[in-house]
Structure 1
């Protein structure tokens, strides 16, 4: 199963900072059985994130964003994601927030959303390496089944019983 990683960061996009979260997320996705088909960096804002998502939707089973999920004025990844997805998957977001809140109170400030568009699952992770990897640890084991349910990779989930 193929995945793509989009790092959302003004500073990384203009070369003022190095992307640490994107590579960490890509490495973890490989552990969960995904082949990372590509990774890119886009600046914060609705239009750049929507464009990044649209480049990968339909081409990979999973698109993971890292960054832009907080409360600052330019943190608009959830709004961009909501503009693209057809159905939300709130259980994934809720599980990440609940689990990370036990480690840091800042976990409750994450506004990331998850959802499906066609056969592609989109997941928003926080921008820090720690936040992104801890969140992905929570939902990682469920991601393969989630994309299988979307029909990107058929399973016998809906097979008739005898």
Structure 2
């Protein structure tokens, strides 16, 4: 049985078909490079609507049983950017270090990184990580936080995520 990982793009325009969702596809491609475990992407594009995002996060973790859901989009300061609020509303525990590290990495490239509000949290046996919406930023941010993701999934009772050490170095404490 393959491991299920949710990829959720929050974008009014991509969900309406105004443009192709490059950000969700960027996440899927990066995970394909990082993971050697058999995994299945559970991919969805929805509008920037807090109730819709909350509903989809709950569905992916509670019903589909994704051990990890990576969101993209909706992390800025604009009125319709509500992904962090939706994430906080459905999580039992927040992991602010994810957002702190992503902003720190992004600040090396753009001063507007301080406007980004991405975060991460735990819902049951699932980890939710908010990424920004631009493919370049997605790569920079996911590269920074991914080394902690497999161990976090271990700690919350999820499946063992095996990774390609030639592509990404993940951290698990020595036993």
TM-score, length basis structure 2: 0.84
Which residue does 1:127 correspond to in 2? 133
- 1:51 equivalent in alignment to 2:55: yes
For the Cα contact (< 8 Å) 1:32–1:144, is it kept in 2? no
For the Cα contact (< 8 Å) 2:28–2:41, is it kept in 1? no
Unaligned runs of 5+ in 2: 161-171
- 1:42 equivalent in alignment to 2:37: no
Deviation at 1:118, TM superposition (A): 0.7
Residue 18 (structure 2) aligned to one of 16, 19, 24: 16
Report Cα offsets for 1:36-93 as digits up to 9, x if no partner. Answer: 4310001002011111101111411100000000010100001011100100111111
TM-score, length basis structure 1: 0.91
What is the alpha-carbon distance in structure 2 between the residues aligned to residue 73 and residue 40 of structure 1? 22
Deviation at 1:23, TM superposition (A): 0.6
For the Cα contact (< 8 Å) 1:62–1:121, is it kept in 2? yes
Instruction: Please state whether the residue corresponding to 2:43 is helix, strand or coil.
Output: strand
Instruction: Please state whether the residue corresponding to 1:69 is helix, strand or coil.
Output: coil
What is the alpha-carbon distance in structure 2 between the residues aligned to residue 150 and residue 15 of structure 1? 36
What is the alpha-carbon distance in structure 2 between the residues aligned to residue 98 and residue 16 of structure 1? 32
What is the alpha-carbon distance in structure 2 between the residues aligned to residue 91 and residue 111 of structure 1? 12
The alignment of Structure 1 onto Structure 2 pairs a total of residues equal to 158
Instruction: Please state whether the residue corresponding to 2:140 is helix, strand or coil.
Output: helix
1:12-161 equivalent positions in 2, closer than 5 A: 12-33=14-35, 35-58=39-62, 59-153=65-159
What is the alpha-carbon distance in structure 2 between the residues aligned to residue 112 and residue 26 of structure 1? 18
What is the alpha-carbon distance in structure 1 between the residues aligned to residue 23 and residue 138 of structure 2? 7
For the Cα contact (< 8 Å) 1:6–1:63, is it kept in 2? yes
Unaligned runs of 5+ in 1: none
